[in-house]
Amino acid sequence: MIWWPVLLELGKRGIDHLPAVWRYGVCAYIESRWATAEQRWWRQKAQEFYDGLGRPATVLSGPFQGMPYINRSSGSAFLPKILGTYEMELRPAVEAICAAQPDLLVDIGAAEGYYAVGLARRLPRLRVRAYEIYPPARLMLQELIRLNRVGPRVRLGRWCTPRRLECALSEAQRPVVICDCEGAEDDLILPTQTPSLARAHLLVELHEAAAPGIGARLKERLAPTHRITEYPARSRTVADAPPGLVVEPGQVRLVLSERGHPAVAQSWYFCQPLESAARPSQEPMAVGEAGRLGRGRRA
């Protein structure tokens, strides 16, 4: 189809420069064309479950319970976000971040804004710089920002670089970095180029498939300045459902698990500056223990 390569080229040149009515149409078309038959099937079943719940408009559980949310997501399944089971392994880290009372969050790979907007709501004085390169996700992020009325404190960007990261962190007293950028963490979490990382809390998703050995490299780079805790992903169970929601065992993958896939190797590093490190509210897994106990995958 001739229009598909044309739309891809428009994406490269910047969908943001199109008139608003065109942007939404083009982004919706791109999303539908990129989806596989399996993904479309999962989305249809998830939509049916969401409709059966009465289409809730706020997050039902977790650290961002009560947050008004849009009815879709980018790069991950929607249902776990609206239900509050998305990356629930990280709840202790999120609470530790909130307890640290940061004054700046740099969210690299913000998608539609689950963390960027969620933390902005939890922390009324927090300033946020959210980086997202995918145009459809940026449109969703702008919508979620408006829905939660945090626009004055959230700045959007496309590409983050070590230089831009250092400029942002150097202006903050208690910065936080959340990084989920499909392997680009190897090029961004560089203390030699970004010395202000030494004062920052970091929550980094490790993408070993895209950057083999990234866990060992980040540990070597950050160990002199941070206490590093590894959170391995685990499969969801019916017990993870929000209170009052009945999920049958056969529905767990569809309803509670990210991307509708069973668990495979996946983990995150939560890095606390040594000068202010404190244990999260639950007992985490220290770096090195994951290998002995077995790894899961983000569900």
How does pLDDT run across 239-284, given as a tens digit for each residue? Answer: 999 998 988 888 888 888 875 544 446 899 999 999 765 444 444 5
CA angle centred on 270, ends 104 and 171, rounded to 5° = 20
| Greatest Cα-to-Cα distance within the chain, rounded to the nearest angstrom | 58
What's the pLDDT score for residue 45?
A: 83
Residue 117 has pLDDT above 90, yes or no: yes
Model confidence at 166: pLDDT above 60: yes
Looking at the predicted structure, is the pLDDT value of residue 13 above 90?
A: no
Model pTM above 0.85: no
Confidence of residue 297 (pLDDT cuts 50, 70, 90): very low
Report helix, strand and coil shares of the chain as percent, to nearest 5.
Answer: 45, 15, 40
**More confident position, 238 or 4:** 238
Residue 197's pLDDT band (boundaries 50, 70, 90)? very high
Contact at 8 Å (CB) between 121 and 148?
A: yes
Domains of the chain by start residue, with CATH: 54-293 (3.40.50.150)
Contacts with 77 (C-beta within 8 Å, 6 or more apart), sequence order? 42, 46, 86, 257, 258, 259, 260
Least confident of 11-25, 125-139, 216-230, 270-284: 11-25
What rounded mean pLDDT belongs to the chain? 84
| Model confidence pLDDT, tens digit, residues 49-81 | 888 889 999 999 999 999 999 999 988 889 999
Which residues lie closer than 8 Å to 170 by C-beta, 6 or more apart?
Answer: 196
Q: Contact at 8 Å (CB) between 206 and 218?
A: yes
Amino acid at 77: A
Average pLDDT on 138-164 reads 96
